[in-house]
Structure 1
Amino acid sequence: MFSSASVRRAAILSVATLALAACQAGSGDPAPDATASATATASPKPDVAIFESGPDSPLGYGLQVPAGATQLGPLSRIRSEQMIKTYAPDLQAAQAQRDADRREDLAERRAENPDEVVPVPVPTPDVRPSQDSFNPLEEQPRPDTVISTMRIDGSPTVVVLRMMAQISAMLPGADVPMRLTEMCTETDMRITGCTAEVTGTTADDREVRVVVNVDPGNVETRTSAPSALRQPVMTLQIRYVGDVREGQRERESSEIGEIAEISPDVDPEGLIWPSMDLDAPADTPLVDGFVAPEDAIILLSGFSPQFVELTTDKAATADLLAQRWVEERIEGEVAKDVAVELNEVNTTYTGSSEDGTYYRATYVLSARGNYVLLRVYPPDAPR
């Protein structure tokens, strides 16, 4: 997996000296047509195997990547808006105390050595990656949201229901859908997408919301999103939704109840997972018209919900790409939050457009590489 407790925070932040690189963006329709998709077979597919995490890889709260699925890139760990708002007064107080201490120290130095020229502190330059946004606090609040992007390589019905069975075991008593007909939309019995939103309480009394989305690809053009390998893609988002401060007192348990066995012959109740002929090309417009730059590799993407997971060679390239993607889609200031945990730095940029569409870009710097997750949330979508 991507985490290693032996890697220290200082080793990560040294990557900040990497040079800035340019990024590109484009516009267009997120759903490719069949003629445009036909070019996908002409160009070689990038080898993304080194960025894959197989079954049983931890997702949080005891959940794991189900057998038959593959996670692409690392988990994205994010502080919710509610968490940032809750801890904002603590941060302001800590910053004010730090500034007062610096002024007092400066005054003492001048009083002790009237003839000494004491330099005035200058603001710390903006480097990439930045230090933790809550660095002035003795203990920085841990991210309360985790996102995973997965490709379904096995039977989609079995994989999806295995995921739901885990959620049911994690949230005993919650109303968890365990049939495709409860989760999926269809046209002529062909599945066009699946969504499940479940809120419940874990065995250790933590209130959690889990959102699962599955995109089989564009049914009309029989085209999968770039790098989906003609397979359905699944996104999983887990967020702690209980009292923010209470949730920081101790880490969540990884113990869940007994997981129901899903038969390989489970009945899809007449629903059909549509077959895709090919993947859309890498220059297909995604996530609100974004076109991946040539120096980035698409690890996985989806049309609905709109997301793309990328990797780049340079840390600063990934960070700047994430920031600019949000800046180009909203008016006003982009919110930025940096969360540092062991050998990973998660830098998240967010903002909303006038119609309420929410844009979230997370740049993950890890020991394995540099990753960017771009995600579009409709106004009524949970985030």
Structure 2
Amino acid sequence: MKTQVAIIGGGPSGLLLSQRLHLAGVETVILERQTRDYVLSRIRAGVLEQGLADQLRQAGVGERMDREGEVHEGTEITFEDHRLHINFRELVGKTVMVYGQTEVTRDLYKARDDMQGTIIHEAQDVALHDTDTDSPYVTFTKDGEEHRLDCDFIAGCDGFHGPSRKSIPADKLRVYEKVYPFGWLGVLSETPPVSEELIYSGHPRGFALCSLRSRTLSRYYVQVSSQDKVEDWSDDRFWEELKARLPQDAADRLVTGPSIEKSIAPLRSFVAEPMTHGRMFLVGDSAHIVPPTGAKGLNLAASDVFYLSTALISYYKTGAETELHDYSAKALRRIWLAERFSWWMTTLLHKFDEEAFDVRVKRAELDFLMSSRAAQAALAENYVGLPYD
């Protein structure tokens, strides 16, 4: 089997990369370890930067998003008795789209099917070979039989635990990581959202977030210890804790109900450099992880897709490799800016085991944010997404 670009990983980044390349006449094959049903069952964040929403439209998969998604022009930040509305459109002239990652993946699958794109599910034992040569290839097992996929380039869209990053020699890779001493307990419920916009709440009991997937599907989070287990948290306990961390009027109008999904996500920051090795390129979670506080995970993967697809299309049109050589540096510049923003929001709004000085500095930071339009504009600029440059 042979293709131009072998894509490892059939999540949204791999599917979007395949779609963008296909529209430019570049052949791809996607290898996905899981079944399609499994991929579509994963519940992930759903705040799309304007850049990602525009990419989906350009790739021909934005129609349902524009019809069913929720355009958000701002968000609310609360702490103690203070409430601050950040108006994105007023401050920076942009918005975000609330549309579930599962729905993005579903739309991309449909587009790949409509164009007869090749996606091989349940590809096991995927291994990358000769990535530092002009003839890389991938081997995998399907239905007990070993296969070989020859290609010009490999895109590793296979997440943190996939084989792509692990194929880079240890002496060629540098890793930066910060592990936070807490996680997010998330609950998905078939209830109307407490607010039309997201509420980020910093509270002495810990952080809380009110978000939504639609007018009838809500996603809520509370900060919990990294030692907590899902089974420690009944629905009743979760709702009572969430109410305690919200402004009173929001707590009063909160509609509760049975959880249809409940999980605890650990928080960490992670970056691997460089994002290339020969003709293999890392994309998304295979190269970087951000705390979910700034809603940057999927959006960062999408900016990687933008840079890499642009570089590959340029190569196949002109034969020039300049943009391919620049991919890692260009992607990492935007990644570190997003890492900074996610770290800042996490530090600002979560409860840590802090010294008195740190607590007072955090309060001063919040006071500055409340009083400074420039600080609010900086938050808005980062939240809606920095430009792809």
Indicate the structure whose relative CO is greater, using CA pairs within 8 Å and at least 6 residues apart. 1
Asked if these proteins are the same fold (TM beyond 0.5), I'd say no
TM-score in terms of structure 2 length: 0.24
Please identify which structure carries the higher helix content.
2
TM-score in terms of structure 1 length: 0.25
